[in-house]
Amino acid sequence: MKEISEIKLKEILQGNSENLNLEFKASFNFNENLWARERLIRAILAMSNTRTGGDIVIGVKENLDKSHDYAGVESDHLSIFKSKIEELKSKVESFSSAPVSYEIGVGVYKQNSLIVINVTEFSLNPLICRRNGEHVDKLLEEGAIYVRTLKDKPSSIKLTNPVDVQDFLERVSDKQIKNLHSRGWRHVESLGNDKSSFEKERESF
């Protein structure tokens, strides 16, 4: 777990509110709080499926008036989390259909410790949830694709909104085409469906 400077934390928390690429989580006991643990895993999957990825900050709770309290991660929660990093990685991988790239750091902001999970956008294959979670609220569902959305409020949800679906499919297509180009594929415009056109397309690979 790397150390994050307070200056960097200020940059991450700029605006003091959640957005498409920033999600807040209150302090929780990784061992005992299944609900919070599975919500964190869902958030990691969602952030990886979101354009440019983003940060999940643990140690920020929402007040009744919707303002945010940077109370920090409780000391015992922080100790447990540090000892469970490999277990978190294993759990994330057990739910994800493809490898997830993220980095975990800790820093002090306003004299309180915060955990920051910086998640990278998927490189080629989107992340699909491989199995159901254990919590009764069905926080993780087999076959679901989770993304960040700004609808109503910033949140990590199952991909269902038509606009989000369209954006997601376009990003997946762009990544697949970019990958093909990196492997030598060059598209040849075809004016017909004859055999010669097909052979030109094959030669493009």
Distance CA 39, CA 164 (A): 20
Please indicate, yes or no, whether residues 153 and 181 belong to a single structural domain of this protein: no
pLDDT surpasses 60 at 188: no
Average per-residue pLDDT for the chain: 89
Please indicate, yes or no, whether residues 195 and 134 belong to a single structural domain of this protein: no
Place of tokens 């277990």: 87
Please indicate, yes or no, whether residues 49 and 120 belong to a single structural domain of this protein: yes
Distance CA 52, CA 17 (A): 18
Please indicate, yes or no, whether residues 55 and 111 belong to a single structural domain of this protein: yes
- Which residues constitute the domain of residue 75? 2-159
Please indicate, yes or no, whether residues 184 and 115 belong to a single structural domain of this protein: no
The band of 203, judged by pLDDT with boundaries at 50, 70 and 90, is: low
pLDDT surpasses 90 at 161: no
Report pLDDT for 85. 96
Report pLDDT for 15. 84
The band of 65, judged by pLDDT with boundaries at 50, 70 and 90, is: confident
Report pLDDT for 195. 55
How many folded domains does the chain comprise? 2
Cα–Cα distances in angstroms (integers) from residue 30 to residues 85, 122, 151, in the given order: 10, 25, 29
Please indicate, yes or no, whether residues 195 and 102 belong to a single structural domain of this protein: no
pTM: 0.85
Please indicate, yes or no, whether residues 40 and 104 belong to a single structural domain of this protein: yes
Please indicate, yes or no, whether residues 107 and 70 belong to a single structural domain of this protein: yes
